[in-house]
Each structure stands twice: as structure tokens, then as C-alpha cells.
Structure 1
Amino acid sequence: MDLFSSDPVSAPPPPPSGAPLAERLRPRTLAEVVGQAHLTGADGAIGRMVAAGRLSSMILWGPPGTGKTTIARLLAAAVGLRFVAISAVFSGVADLKKVFAEARDHSRTGTRTLLFVDEIHRFNRAQQDGFLPYVEDGTVILVGATTENPSFELNAALLSRAQVLILNRLDGAALGDLLARAEALLGTTLPLTEAARAALIASADGDGRFLLNQAETLVSIAPPAPLDPAGLAALLHRRVAVYDKDREGHYNLISALHKSVRGSDPQAALYYLARMLVAGEQPLYLARRLVRMAIEDIGLADPQALAHCLAAKDAYDFLGSPEGELALAQACLYLATAPKSNAGYVAYKAARRTAEQTGSLMPPKTILNAPTKLMKQIGYGQDYAYDHDAPDAFSGDDYWPEEMTPQSFYTPSPRGFEAKIAERLAYWERLRRDRRG
């Protein structure tokens, strides 16, 4: 079991001199934690709890390398709690039972336990339920850490007993502060030009641990001259974007892409499309989403939008990656710059609601086929007005069930091709009124 226990009221022990740079730079107080002042500051949720000397159970939700483990350890030291850390990746039910039994023994002597559970979302629902009695009776103060959205990954019962605190992705200023601290500890300046230093910070993608590991590698290699961005890229491996195809990162980016297209921002739409492709998203998934956008957000304002998306899908099937990805980019740009209308989408939802409410009403007999003698005898197809025989190829007949009044679901927008459709509908409505007297 991956478990670490410390005595109460103990500050984190200093790491050995040979420890990784990220470990040697681990903050010794909450004030030293970078990028999370909204939580650890005097007015933040953690700052207020520490000032009051009382902690409640909490879930720390944030990207990798933002200080979740550090904050948990410093919290225990700040309020005088015994600290126990486990990882949900390596621990099971037997490990949890042992932790809870030890915590209960310590509580009898007046020592409370802060239980830190890294990757808490990795525990299944039944295992998460196992925490509830020990959190409720105060045997442990639970501090869980997760990179995944707690509302998706954690039981509602557990969430109701813990405060969710969101850690920020480290911005450029926080990462720059970390680099400065690293240089001060190492007694040297990183061998980088200003542009390469900015590129190194950008490559960390908000992950302080990754940045410090890269800085440590640079110092150990000791290039003879400061590196420019190209030299830095050649020396260090590029960071892979944080992206799980079945988790929140996936849904956040596809939402951003869809809303950028809907908002007619081709630059942002192209950026999010590229983000997903760079992160390894399946191109055909993106093609399906583009088809959906063409139908939902453009519709008949530009009927060619759907054709363009289907053509892009066929082009990708034909070319594959990376050449076929350009077809997806072209379709994305077409959608973002097309006139927008959700009139068809709204109309279908309204028609569906009405269809569910009206059940199995029969259409009027006049528009029913009569393939048998009996059907003709009971009036199927009788007096049907064939529109092509009518003036203007328009009979103006009533096609609704007798028990319903005519409904209006579709109202074209005044944009794009739908403006022409609106004129056509208005023309037919005038003819209909004229012919019905």
C-alpha cells in the first residue's frame, strides 16, 4: 500500500539533497504555495479554516502539478493533525480498513487524522461509500484529490459531506515564480534565452511539477550556450496535452468548439478543432460533431453546410491523417462563417412534443392512399386535390388530423437562404387564405 503517516503538529521533513528538484522546492508553509491564493489566502476557504483551527472534509479538484498533495500535507501540519496519505491507484478495501482502524485508535488518545486520498476518483462507488461513516463520526478528516470533475466521478453522498475546492491551473506568473525559486535553490540561471524561457513555461501547460522536472534536466545537461526555442524543443520532449477522450477534458473542448462555431468565430473554432486533433481525438468523431453543428445551428440558412461536412468526412476517409484533417478544418471554417439558424432544430423539437401529446390521430382521409376497394368505399383518398393540377401547383388543402387545428412549428430566420424560404411560406399562406375564402 502506498501510505505515509506522520506524527501530529509536524512540519514536512526536509527532503534529502539528492531528491528531485520538485521535491526539494515543495512549499513548507501554505503561504509558499503558488497560484492558489484564492484558496490559501486569508480570505480563501482554506485560509479561513486554518485561521479558525478547524478543518472540514474537502475534495481538491485541479489539473496535475497544481499543489493538491502539498496543500493537504501543509493543512495537517497547520492545525495539528496526524497525516496519512494513500493513493486510490494502489489501495484497496483492506488498506482502507487498516487506515480507519488506526485512525480510530489515535482518536481515543485525542489525536485526529487527516486522510489524504490521491486520485480519489479511482475508487469505485462501493469503496467511496466506505468512507461515509468514518467521515460522519469524525474518525478522519478526508481530503481527496482528483483531476476529474467530482460531480461526474464521486458519489453524491460523499460530495454532500465534503467541500469541493477548485485549484487553478498555474498561470505564467506562477510558473515564472517557480522557475525563479528553482534557480535560487540551484544557484544558477537556466541556460535559456528569454524567448526559450517563455517557451519552457508555455510547454508546462500549467503543471508546476513538469516545469521543475524540465528545469532540472536542463541544468544537468548544461548546454554550452543559452538555448533558443528551437534548441530547447530539440533537447526536451514536448509535453502531451492533458486530454482524456472519455472524461471532462474531452467534453470541455468539444463544447468550446461547438459554441465557437455557433458564435461565428472561425479563429476560435479552428483553434479548438486543432487542440482536439493534437491531443489525439478521433477525426471521425469530430466529423460527426461538425455534421451535428451544420444541422442544429445552421440548418436551412445555408443548406450547403451539411453537404460540406459530409464531403469533409468522405475526404478524410479517402485521405486519412494528416492530409484529411485539412478537410475537417475547411468544414469547420465553413460552418463558423455561415449564416446561423436553429429554426429547424426548434421546429423539430416542437413538432416532436406535439406528436407525443396527440398520440395516434388519423390524418384526414382525403390524403390517405386507397389501394383496396374497401378503403375507397370508406372514403380514403376521396376528393384529394392533386397540387400539380391546381393553379400555381398549390391546392391550399388542409393536411392536419380533423381533431387538430393547423400548427406552426417552423419559423424561418431572416438570415441566409431561410430569408427566401420565409418569402415562399408567406406567398403560400396568402394563396391559402385566398382559396379558402
Structure 2
Amino acid sequence: MSDLFGTDAPAAVPHEQFEDRPLADRLRPKTLDEVVGQDHLLGQEGVLTRMINSGRLGSLIFWGPPGSGKTTVARLLADQVDYHFHQISAIFSGVADLKKTFEMARQMRANGKKTLLFVDEIHRFNRAQQDSFLPVMEDGTIVLVGATTENPSFELNAALLSRAQVLSFKSHDRDAAEQLIDRAAELEGRKTPLDDDARRALHEMADGDGRALLGLLEEVYAATKDNEVLDQKALEALVQRRAPVYDKGQDGHYNLISALHKTIRGSDPDAALYYLARMLVAGEDPMFIARRLIRMASEDIGLADPQALPHCIAARDAYQMLGSPEGELALGQAAVYLALAPKSNAAYNAFNAAMRVARETGSPTPPKVILNAPTKLMKSEGYGDGYQYDHDAPDAFSGQEYFPEKLGRQTFYEPVERGFERDLQKRIDYFKRLRLKRQTGKS
């Protein structure tokens, strides 16, 4: 299914005009049954199929990548339930446009016709504009179908989301792409001018975008003669390979860095290298990756391997010195190191716990015994009185209490039984015994 299909097609066009239209437009599905690639929504047990069969169509948010068919499905859905279809784009519409649209829908409703309002790029509307949909959704003036490529949880108001069901659209997989390729061949009246490897490469170039796939295929048809068949090398020479769908400020960016982080946390160096490579191939800033690796070293490895953090800092420095592509190897090496390192979030949890206590307990004064006394008054008040210099104590440990008296002793850091933290736990236990001995005089 393609998202091909973002503008209204003429009801009828002369054959010559039909031939002049882009291939994606000529292949636009005319019914929901012709849509490919979204069986989870439109198959026999699909969400939209059940909704249509029930006779109850509520407001919807279509969330999915470009070229997955969101606009097409919205238009065909309106046809299926006999609603008036009206489309606007959040990029080009303002408050005045929304008021006109809502008034039009009220007039349609007064004449006995419901309106399906399709809002493309709905996440581009600000909070106030999104809120303006609520009254007309609640009173039945419109059934809203919003389309977005961005995560609705982050980009849409909670009030709007509570009144609409989110449906996820998928990128075209290989089977869906093959269906589009075969349909194009039938429409063109000749065999697809690609061998099997070239067909597979064409799908990879389109990266799951149905509209892009048909656009590339149209170039192939235009550049080949009857019975000519291109191999993968010839195809790549004819059309420029498209970069994978990846917006460094949007979901693709965050999805891949999340995948990299979780594969490292999951101790899978091969998967970590794959997602690192995906990001680099897509044009991600290597310094962003380096910063995240440094964060992972502290968050997920911590003191289980104290060398993880300096290793990642060294990888960052190596990239800054060597640049691309040589410096990218250092980032890959750091990713493998982190993936195979023993894991501990004990220091991470301890820091967060300390921050929480610091926020919640105000500003209790530290014990006077560990405060300096730069003035006579402070000295007379007991500042620094009784402080024991640890280096002069047996085992270089005085056992004094350093937490504010009002707060009492706290425990934040609890090492795990992995890596270097096993040794740190022994040190903690050792100092606990010494503290008890110093404070109670018992061994």
C-alpha cells in the first residue's frame, strides 16, 4: 500500500491524461481490498475491518512511516462508510482554516452527511490548535483521522489521544513490495525489467516506502526497452540509492540509539555493531554516538569495569583526531567493549537515590566536626572540634559519622556481584566492620 495517494484523484480522466500521471498515482487503490502491506488493519480480522463491520467509526490517529498508505486508507475509509472526505495539512493550515473546516462540517451534518476530516502531519499543530478539535469531535461534527510519522505519545496532546484510537502502519515488507512491483508490470503491460537480485535491491533502496518504490520503478520503465532486463549493478547505475529513512531529529534517530543502548546493556556485541553501523550509514553525527557510549559506560557498566568510561572517552578522542571513516572503528571497538563488559547500574542507582534524598530533605547542616573554623567565633561554636584526620588513624580510617545528624546514616551504593564491584563490596564490608569497631569500641 502506498501513501502514494495524498491528493484527490479525478473522478474520471481521459486516457492520455491518465498516462501522464505518475505511476504511484495510477496505481492508487480504489477500494480497501486493494491496499497491500497493512493486513493487521485491513485483513479479515484487522482492526479497521472490525470497526467497519460494526458500523461504528470513531476518531483515529494513523501512525506510521512515509509511503505506508495513511492518506489512501483514510480516503477509502470515508468511501466505505459513506462519509464526506475532507483533507487538510497541518503544515499549511491555521486557525482560520480550521474554523472554516468545522463550519463546513456542521453544514454537512445539518444536511445529513457526516464528515471524515483527514489531517495530514497532525503533529505539526500546536497545543491550542490540537485542542480546537476536541469540541467538534465530542459533539459528532467530525470524525477525525490524523496522520503522523512521529510518536503520538510525544507529539499529541493527552486530551486528543484520549478521544482517538492510535493505529500503527507498517513499512512495506518484501511481500508487499513484490505485490506493488507486479501490479506496476500489469499496468505497464510488460514484464518488470529487473532480475531477481535487482528486484530485491529496489525494495532495499525504497526502504519500505511504497511511493518511493514506485517512483524508482517508474524511472526503470522509462529508461528501458521491451525485453530489456537490468541486473543489480545496472539498476544501481541507473538510479541513486536512497538513504534509509532516518531523521536525526525524530523517531528514527531515537529508535536506533535506543536499540544500540539496549543491545549493549544486553551484552550482544553483534547487534550493537549492527545498530551502530545503521546510524553511521544513515549519517548520524559520530559525536552524538560517542556521547551516548560514554553515558552507557556510566549507566550500565559503572564500577563493574572502571575501564569502560576511559575506554569510551578514548574512542571519542580517537574519532576527533582521525575523523571519518578511520575514527569510526574506535567507536565500534568501544561498543564491543561495553557489550562484553560486566554490567552494573549500582552507581547509577546510588547517584539517583542520593539526588532524591538531597531534594526531599532540605538543607540539614553537616556535622560541625567536619566543618572548617576560619573564624574565632566558629571555632568557639565547636566547628571542627574533634575532627580525626583519617591518615593518622589505624588503617587510615577514623570511622567518624559524616551525614547530618538530622538525616542520619544513609545507604545508596549497593554493588553487584559482577566484575570489579565484587571487590568493592569487600571494601564496603571491611569499612562497615571498622566503623562499628571505632564507634562502639567492639571488634
TM-score norm. by structure 1 comes to 0.90
Q: Structure 1 pair 366/95, CA: closer, same or farther in 2 (3 Å)?
A: closer
Quote the residue 1:358 is aligned against.
Answer: 361
Instruction: Give the unaligned 5+ runs of structure 2.
Output: 1-5
What is the CA–CA distance in structure 2 between the aligned matches of 1:147 and 1:295, rounded to whole Å? 33
Letter in 2 for 1:377: S
2:389 to 368, 386, 389: 386
- What is the CA distance between 1:77 and its match in structure 2? 1.4
Q: What is the DSSP-based 3-state SS (H/G/I as helix, E as strand, rest coil) of the residue aligned with 1:142?
A: strand
- What is the CA distance between 1:93 and its match in structure 2? 3.4
Q: Percent identity?
A: 63
- What is the CA distance between 1:13 and its match in structure 2? 11
Q: Structure 1 pair 233/407, CA: closer, same or farther in 2 (3 Å)?
A: same
2:305 to 302, 307, 312: 302
What is the CA–CA distance in structure 1 between the aligned matches of 2:338 and 2:425, rounded to whole Å? 22
What is the CA–CA distance in structure 2 between the aligned matches of 1:97 and 1:403, rounded to whole Å? 60
Quote the residue 2:38 is aligned against.
Answer: 36
Q: Structure 1 pair 433/61, CA: closer, same or farther in 2 (3 Å)?
A: same
Quote the residue 2:88 is aligned against.
Answer: 86
What is the CA–CA distance in structure 1 between the aligned matches of 2:101 and 2:304, rounded to whole Å? 62
More off after superposition, 223-232 vs 146-155: 223-232
Residues 4-33 of structure 1: CA deviation (Å, up to 9, x unaligned) = 7799xx899998233222112211211111
**Is 1:178 matched up with 2:161?**
no
1:251 to 249, 254, 257: 254
Moved over 6 A (4+): 3-7, 10-15
- What is the CA distance between 1:233 and its match in structure 2? 2.1
Query: In the alignment, is the contact (CA less than 8 A) between 1:346 and 1:410 conserved in 2?
Result: yes
Letter in 2 for 1:326: L
TM-score norm. by structure 2 comes to 0.89
Residues 37-56 of structure 1: CA deviation (Å, up to 9, x unaligned) = 21112322211232234422
2:296 to 282, 286, 293: 293
Q: What is the DSSP-based 3-state SS (H/G/I as helix, E as strand, rest coil) of the residue aligned with 2:193?
A: coil
What is the CA–CA distance in structure 1 between the aligned matches of 2:132 and 2:406, rounded to whole Å? 58
What is the CA–CA distance in structure 2 between the aligned matches of 1:163 and 1:11, rounded to whole Å? 34
1:45 to 44, 47, 50: 47
- After superposition, where does 1:243-282 map in structure 2 within 5 Å? 243-282=246-285
Residues 46-90 of structure 1: CA deviation (Å, up to 9, x unaligned) = 112322344222121111111111111111211222222222233
Letter in 1 for 2:278: R
Query: In the alignment, is the contact (CA less than 8 A) between 1:351 and 1:409 conserved in 2?
Result: yes
More off after superposition, 165-174 vs 402-411: 402-411
Instruction: Give the unaligned 5+ runs of structure 1.
Output: none
- What is the CA distance between 1:404 and its match in structure 2? 4.2
Q: What is the DSSP-based 3-state SS (H/G/I as helix, E as strand, rest coil) of the residue aligned with 2:365?
A: coil
What is the CA–CA distance in structure 1 between the aligned matches of 2:134 and 2:100, rounded to whole Å? 16
Quote the residue 2:432 is aligned against.
Answer: 429
User: How well do the aligned residues superpose, as a CA RMSD in angstroms?
Assistant: 2.6
Query: In the alignment, is the contact (CA less than 8 A) between 1:58 and 1:142 conserved in 2?
Result: yes
More off after superposition, 325-334 vs 208-217: 325-334
Quote the residue 1:124 is aligned against.
Answer: 126
Residues 359-385 of structure 1: CA deviation (Å, up to 9, x unaligned) = 332333332223333333333333322
Q: Structure 1 pair 305/273, CA: closer, same or farther in 2 (3 Å)?
A: same
Q: What is the DSSP-based 3-state SS (H/G/I as helix, E as strand, rest coil) of the residue aligned with 1:16?
A: helix
Aligned length: 433
Query: In the alignment, is the contact (CA less than 8 A) between 1:11 and 1:74 conserved in 2?
Result: no
Query: In the alignment, is the contact (CA less than 8 A) between 2:205 and 2:243 conserved in 1?
Result: no
Residues 249-300 of structure 1: CA deviation (Å, up to 9, x unaligned) = 2222221111111111112222222222222222222222111111111111
Q: Structure 1 pair 382/195, CA: closer, same or farther in 2 (3 Å)?
A: same
More off after superposition, 47-56 vs 27-36: 47-56
1:106 to 105, 108, 123: 108
